[in-house]
Amino acid sequence: MVRLVLVLGDQLTPDIAALKAADKARDVVVMAEVMGEGASVPHHPQKIALILAAMRKFAAGLEAEGWRVAYSRLDDPGNAQTIPGELLRRAAEFGASEVLATKPGEWRLLRDLEALPVPVRVLEDDRFLCSEAEFAAWAEGRKQLRMEWFYREMRRKTGLLMEGGQPVGGQWNFDHDNRKPAKSDLLRPRPRDFAPDAVVEEVLALVAARFAHFGRLRPFRWATDRAGALAALREFVEERLPRFGEEQDAMLEGEGFLSHAVISPYLNIGLLGPMEVCLAVEAAWKAGRVPIQAAEGFIRQVIGWREYVRGIWALKGPAYLEGNALGHSRALPGVYWGAETGMACMRAAVGQTRDLAYAHHIQRLMVTGNFALLAGADPGQVHEWYLSVYVDAFEWVEAPNTLGMSQFADGGLLGSKPYVSSGAYIDRMSDHCGACRYRVKEKVGDRACPFNLLYWHFLDRHRDRFRANPRMAQMYRVWDAMAEGHRNAVLAGAEAVLARLEAGEVV
Ligand code: SF4
């Protein structure tokens, strides 16, 4: 009997579990472009175009290798426009007895597959370096799941940057040499733009006609096949990796990429694998072309943080998506969808997101994430925004980053304290404040930086939860030492900002 082999848009890896388990001689690969996925949340048009173009090229590659592929284009008549609908249609067409699938990275889709009226075998996605069982065993009995300890296990397991069972250079983490403010007078090689070919152009026209979501579709700069993704990796290692560590937390007006790798979209849809990118970076360090702090910082992001958040996602299940430990319920302010704002840092981060479908981790964590948390935005809406607007965002990686790391919605499972800061951090790490309507040094009054006002408001309104937290006690001492009149003025200023946000006025 024929089996259907489901390959999703973020599973574009030739040896993915479902393909490994399939039989080329008798099984049919099913790939489907469907509105049910493209519009499950308002995904950025560039993200939809990247996935559809990469799917089309991947399908052509499978056919060239002898696979029988049933491929549904978005505008095919008869397309059921959902993954389950397409599987049922293909099952009837081919008389299939079973569906082979690799576990999707979104709980909604897994539930849909499990509810199908045909037998479905869901195989673990073994592209990750740490299996779900391994992560669960590591997490077992631990009160707090600290990434740093997990990362050390992964270094031992992979052997990356290890020598005789010890970390090279005698330490696990070199971040004290990283994270410097960016220098605006430096010339940096920008990641190369991949000019759209005929396949991409056809997809861009389709996406323009079908999706009116937030975000600019053009210019479209992404690679859409493995050769392009490998070229992007090579170029990063040769040109930007040497400065990656020291610039990884910096922000500069008009510099969307700085020295970041910008390969996360390729990793997350399967065009690159985690081990090969780490080996490329390790090799550059071994050859003396990049400093240890750059290589170690990058490898930690991949075998540490990336594997860790995926482990959390798998371990905690769909309930994790409902977390709202701080009881925040404010609607996500319009500025996130491009409404006018006087805050230069927010304008830069959201504008770049609209244009590039990309922002680096500090823009996501310390600007847009920080502001959403300080403003008390509903974490479910914040989660949906991040899942929508970033080209590399898939639930398994986005949800723990947003709900856990950024919004503290999981009550502290990922982070021992919430990632909140006043404007001072943004001022130190960026050049935004000089061009802002607000004054970062002002603590009260109409020109006071909204981050300054909301920071203290956040601490004040969550005093019961955080005052005993040893990592926050000092800030409560600072707050309590301020004159009562000053504290009241700060709180009144913050309330005024929140009222303007709720009224949809420009902040
Ligand atoms: Fe952002 Fe405040 Fe600086 Fe303006 S002053 S750019 S709002 S941190």
Domains of the chain: 3-123 (3.40.50.620), 132-194+221-316 (1.25.40.80), 334-502 (1.10.579.10)
* Ordered strands of the 28-32 beta sheet: 68-72, 28-32, 3-6, 98-102, 120-123
CB of 247 closer than 6 A to ligand 1?
Answer: no
Say what the pLDDT of residue 143 is: 81
CB of 8 closer than 6 A to ligand 1?
Answer: no
Residues 6 or more apart whose CB falls under 8 angstroms from that of 156 comprise 162, 165
pLDDT tens string 303-344 = 999 999 999 999 999 999 999 999 999 999 999 999 999 999
pLDDT tens string 15-60 = 999 999 999 999 999 999 999 999 999 999 999 999 999 999 999 9
With b meaning 16 or more CB within 10 Å and e meaning fewer, what string describes 15-24? ebbbbeebee
Q: How far away, in angstroms, is 469 Cα from ligand 1 center?
A: 27
CB of 366 closer than 6 A to ligand 1?
Answer: no
Say what the pLDDT of residue 158 is: 98
Say what the pLDDT of residue 115 is: 97
Residues 6 or more apart whose CB falls under 8 angstroms from that of 227 comprise none
Say what the pLDDT of residue 50 is: 98
Say what the pLDDT of residue 175 is: 83
CA distances from 458 to 363, 495, 507 (A): 20, 11, 18
Say what the pLDDT of residue 248 is: 86
170 pLDDT higher than 90:
yes
For ligand 1, atom 5, name the residue with the nearest CA.
440
pLDDT tens string 134-165 = 999 999 999 888 999 999 999 999 999 999 99
What distance in Å separates the CA atoms of residue 423 and residue 348, rounded to the nearest whole number? 15
Integer distance in angstroms from the first to the last C-alpha of the chain? 62
CB of 50 closer than 6 A to ligand 1?
Answer: no
Q: How far away, in angstroms, is 43 Cα from ligand 1 center?
A: 28
Say what the pLDDT of residue 429 is: 94
186 pLDDT higher than 70:
no
For 338, other C-beta atoms within 10 Å of its C-beta total 14
103 pLDDT higher than 90:
yes
CA distances from 243 to 147, 238, 276, 328, 359 (A): 24, 11, 20, 38, 18
pTM over 0.95: yes
Ligand 1 atom closest to Cα of 432? Answer: 6
What distance in Å separates the CA atoms of residue 220 and residue 230, rounded to the nearest whole number? 18
Q: What is the DSSP letter of 319?
A: G
Ligand 1 atom closest to Cα of 440? Answer: 5
Ligand 1 atom closest to Cα of 435? Answer: 6
What distance in Å separates the CA atoms of residue 181 and residue 347, rounded to the nearest whole number? 19
Average pLDDT score over residue span 390-398: 98
185 pLDDT higher than 70:
no
Average pLDDT score over residue span 272-288: 98
- More confident position, 190 or 136: 136
Average pLDDT score over residue span 389-409: 98
Residue located via tokens 């030492």: 481
Q: What is the DSSP letter of 444?
A: S
Tokens of 344: 């230069």
As to burial, measured by CB atoms within 10 angstroms (0-12 exposed, 13-18 middle, 19+ buried), residue 496 is middle
